Amino acid sequence: MPSQAELSPLAKALLMRHFFRPRVAATLIVAIALPVSVQIQAQEVIFNVPAQPLSSALQAFGTQSNMQLLYSYEMLRGLHSNEVKGPFPPLSALEELLMGTGIGYTLQGDVITLFRNGESGTMTLNAMTVEDNALGTITENTKSYTPGTIATATRLVLTPRETPQTVTVVTRQHMDDFNLTNINKVMDHTPGVTRRGTDNYRSYYYARGYEIRNFQYDGIPVLSDGINFMGETTSDMIQYDRVEVIKGASGLTTGAGSPGATINLVRKKPTHEFSGHATAEYGRWDNYRTEWDVGGPLDESGSIRGRFATAFQDQQSYMDHFKEQKRALYGILEVDLSPKTMLTFGGNYDKTIPTGSSSGGTPFFDSHNNEVNISRSFNPAASWSRVEQFSHAFFTQLDHEFDNGWSSRVYYTFQRNAYDANLGSIKYTPNGDTGSSELLTSQNRYKTRSQALEAYARGPFELFGRTHELAVGVSGYHNHLKGSGHNVIRVPIDNIGEWDGRAERPDWGGILYRAEDRINQRAVYASGRFSLSDDLAVILGGRVTNYRRGGDSNMRETGEVIPFAGVTYDLNNNFSLYASYTKIFRPQSVRDESYAVLDPDEGDSYEGGLKGEWFNGRLNASLAYFEIRQDNRAESIGGLTNSNGITYTAYRGTKAKTKGIELEVSGELMPGWNIQAGFTHQVIREDETNEKLTTQAPENQFKLYTTYRLPGRLSKITIGGGGSYQGTTWRDGTDALGNEHQFKNEAFWLVNLMGRYQITNNLSATLNVNNLFDKYYYSNYGDRWTGIATKMYGEPRNMMLTTRWDF
């Protein structure tokens, strides 16, 4: 059958639109089908479709067989498939998959129409979905901006509509379209997430008003909470299939953590057929990048599959005397130990080698209390200043499928992150007359070792004549940080207005201090989805966590119960109501006015709203209201000195409430037209005073990115673009004379464009333009280093040209 790109605009319109009559649809399908059914029935394909909900199994079947499926989503509700694994003719595989489900099929060309046994095989287009590049848990090669299923929020494999939380997914297609080659760029495109650049090598992310400190890899948490701040924000995206962001608290799968969101980076998988790509890229400021990614079967039967990907980037910057090299390697191997058991090994290596690394921004005021006038290209760092960072990980997992539809997984990962820093950056108020100032210089090293072991099982069970789903698991995580630092030395500079990065590199002497910290977490958890009727489902779950943190904090929490409850109700074929609740549990390491560690931040997280789904999940939308109530939120009360002469920032616990709404849409509006967009409004207030507590994250934010492949003879051209709006943010502080001052970043838009030309079937060229109108804005402002407020500008207009060869 011709691909969608080869059909005429009229044929595509007739095929995809729902309002045409059955006779027209049937005639069209027969007319465009090729007489290949005999070949299809005879040619064997290697299938790997685990037992799972039937809709998800059919999506996997469609991808692996490269066949189109027509069916009604409602017809499949509550049905589960059989496992299909190994070499089969496609129709034999389909018969095995459908056995016992009561679903039959008819074949015309390479189009399969499903129907319930006892009913006619002829379907009206009002109840029909065309499944092309079917959606599933893998987003690569689906050409989609939305996933088919997700399991990050509850451990249950559910569609976005069935998940009673907001989960935003940036797919592989979205990343490829807009050249999102690192996690910072992905977060810039993620609805509801704000990024704040601390300096020219670090960033922090915020969602629903809270810093995101929870990171997962393939759904397995690697604890952060300030201990694991290296590696996550330097991740190269060559190794990932997608990035999922679970909005709100995620205690069921994460345990202790921030109530804002959790970022889950999902790695690429080996392909069942030999395939890959290579790129050559060039951008503004001498930005060079290349990628190589290849995978496929390693033996004749396809029971051993591998994949290797690497990326190298050498770039300068809009900031003076700053440049950086990035290297990334990724490999994964899958081995079928039996038709029902698969063993996976993998690892990755990321390293950044910068020069001219700053530490924060540039002082805001001079000694006369005038704002320091600098260009966007000004770099406060010395030319020898650098922060080398690397991250490498090893992971392995064992998957097994049982005859009763259950599956299990045992997953282990070891990750090591580190940085080696020789820093020198302007940190002191410049003289208003001479422009002289000083560098703050330091030398320090940190490294973390993180290990995680998790085992879980999930599958269907029968109760009161209905099919339900259950997941149970155990987990253990351990993080160990070690660090050291030398003397902090101040180095004078003559004039900030003539600064070119040249300064003497000091001798920091021997090690002045050492630091060590450990976090251990053990947990058991369970979640179940109970189908009370065809339209109503309830998800209940909980996690029991034992948490311990050593070092100076010496915290221990035992038997902490984190419950989860959710409900979804289908209003019709397209819309569902949903609601969810979970508890907040986050141990804190800050200290109160008596120098005691503050009690954990606890509270409740609520969410409810409306979700929509069209075209068998190829387009998803949600409207959510969320509310987060904190019982012991840490708020600074200023600097204090304890009885031992240690000066520290003291905090008090306060009750706070966050309220907001989120509107999101992602997927395919029509054939060839993808979109991901979202609007967020949020406010955090203290309960007692009703004052706003957090103003660094904007109250209003909007993001929209879209691409469209032109029809007909222009189908080799894809155009796209989008932008982000961020409302005004501010923070209170003091000026150079100690007077109260409100630092403000006015609301701004950033607009991006992209265009791609498919030169041949395998070769394409893509141009991406960022910050099209060259908008001036702060990526950070008002941060206080050595008591001095600083500022840093965001990236000016830039572009990247990518040529890609697919094979």
Could you give the CA distance from residue 272 to residue 267 in angstroms, rounded to a whole number? Answer: 16
* pLDDT given for residue 124 in this prediction: 36
Domain residue limits at 90: 43-120
- Residue 597 located in a structural domain: yes
* pLDDT given for residue 26 in this prediction: 33
* pLDDT given for residue 25 in this prediction: 34
- Last residue of a domain, which of 120, 142, 176? 120
Q: State phi, psi for 702 to the nearest 5 degrees.
A: -140, 135
Q: State phi, psi for 254 to the nearest 5 degrees.
A: -110, -35
Instruction: Please write the tens of the pLDDT for every residue from 89-121.
Output: 888 888 888 887 888 888 765 568 888 765 544
Q: What is the pLDDT confidence band of residue 23, given thresholds at 50, 70 and 90?
A: very low
Task: Work out whether strand 700-709 and strand 673-686 pair parallel, antiparallel, or are unpaired.
Answer: antiparallel
Residue 74, domain CATH = 3.55.50.30
Worst-scoring range by mean pLDDT, 91-100, 401-410, 671-680, 795-804? 91-100
Average pLDDT over residues 636-659: 79
* pLDDT given for residue 198 in this prediction: 82
Tell me 225's DSSP state.
Answer: T
Residues sharing a CB contact under 8 Å with residue 212, sequence separation 6 or more, in sequence order: 193, 204, 205, 206, 258, 260, 261, 262, 263
Could you give the CA distance from residue 684 to residue 659 in angstroms, rounded to a whole number? Answer: 7
Identify which of 382, 377, 374 has the alpha carbon closest to the alpha carbon of residue 357.
382
332 pLDDT exceeds 60?
Answer: yes
Residues sharing a CB contact under 8 Å with residue 129, sequence separation 6 or more, in sequence order: 69, 70, 71, 72, 73, 615, 616
- List the beta bridge partners of residue 86: 47
- 778 membership: H or E segment, kind and range: strand 778-785
Average pLDDT over residues 691-707: 88
537 pLDDT exceeds 50?
Answer: yes
Tokens of 272: 């069942």
Q: Is the dihedral of CA 137, 139, 141, 143 positive or negative?
A: positive
* pLDDT given for residue 576 in this prediction: 97
- Last residue of a domain, which of 120, 139, 161? 120
Identify which of 332, 331, 273, 340 has the alpha carbon closest to the alpha carbon of residue 302.
273
The terminus-to-terminus CA distance of the chain in angstroms comes to 21
* pLDDT given for residue 129 in this prediction: 33
Identify which of 628, 648, 536, 537 has the alpha carbon closest to the alpha carbon of residue 586.
628
- List the beta bridge partners of residue 635: 652
Q: Where are the beta strands (DSSP E) in 321-427?
A: 323-338, 341-355, 362-363, 386-401, 407-426
- Residue 710 located in a structural domain: yes
* pLDDT given for residue 126 in this prediction: 33
* 231 φψ region: left (φ > 0), alpha (ψ -120 to 50), beta (else): left
Average pLDDT over residues 177-187: 96
The mean of the pLDDT values for the chain is: 85
- Residue 159 located in a structural domain: no
- Residue 740 located in a structural domain: yes
- Residue 385 located in a structural domain: yes
Q: What is the pLDDT confidence band of residue 476, given thresholds at 50, 70 and 90?
A: very high
Worst-scoring range by mean pLDDT, 114-123, 234-243, 738-747, 769-778? 114-123
Distances (CA, A) of 84 to 49, 50, 73, 111, 189: 5, 6, 21, 20, 37
- 189 membership: H or E segment, kind and range: helix 183-189
Identify which of 684, 543, 667, 693 has the alpha carbon closest to the alpha carbon of residue 627.
684
Which one is predicted more confidently, 144 or 110?
A: 144
Q: Is the dihedral of CA 685, 689, 690, 693 positive or negative?
A: negative
- List the beta bridge partners of residue 404: none
- Residue 3 located in a structural domain: no
Domain count within the chain: 2
Residues sharing a CB contact under 8 Å with residue 296, sequence separation 6 or more, in sequence order: 270, 271, 272, 273, 274, 275, 276, 305, 306, 307
- Last residue of a domain, which of 91, 120, 149? 120
Instruction: Please write the tens of the pLDDT for every residue from 31-50.
Output: 323 333 444 445 678 888 88
Cα three-residue angle 485-488-489, rounded to 5 degrees: 145
Average pLDDT over residues 537-556: 85
228 pLDDT exceeds 60?
Answer: no
Residue 618, domain CATH = 2.40.170.20
Instruction: Please write the tens of the pLDDT for every residue from 422-431.
Output: 999 998 999 9
Which one is predicted more confidently, 2 or 679?
A: 679
Average pLDDT over residues 17-27: 34
Based on the number of CB atoms within 10 Å of its own CB, is 232 exposed (0-12), middle (13-18) or buried (19 or more)? buried
Q: What is the pLDDT confidence band of residue 84, given thresholds at 50, 70 and 90?
A: confident
- Residue 236 located in a structural domain: no
- Residue 165 located in a structural domain: no
Q: What is the pLDDT confidence band of residue 287, given thresholds at 50, 70 and 90?
A: very high
* pLDDT given for residue 69 in this prediction: 78
* pLDDT given for residue 690 in this prediction: 81
Worst-scoring range by mean pLDDT, 115-124, 207-216, 506-515, 709-718? 115-124
Buried b / exposed e along 217-230 (16+ C-beta atoms within 10 A): bbbbbbbbbebbbb
11 pLDDT exceeds 70?
Answer: no
Instruction: Please write the tens of the pLDDT for every residue from 591-610.
Output: 888 888 888 888 999 999 99
Residues sharing a CB contact under 8 Å with residue 371, sequence separation 6 or more, in sequence order: 364, 365
Could you give the CA distance from residue 264 to residue 224 in angstroms, rounded to a whole number? Answer: 13
234 pLDDT exceeds 90?
Answer: no
Worst-scoring range by mean pLDDT, 150-164, 558-572, 638-652? 638-652
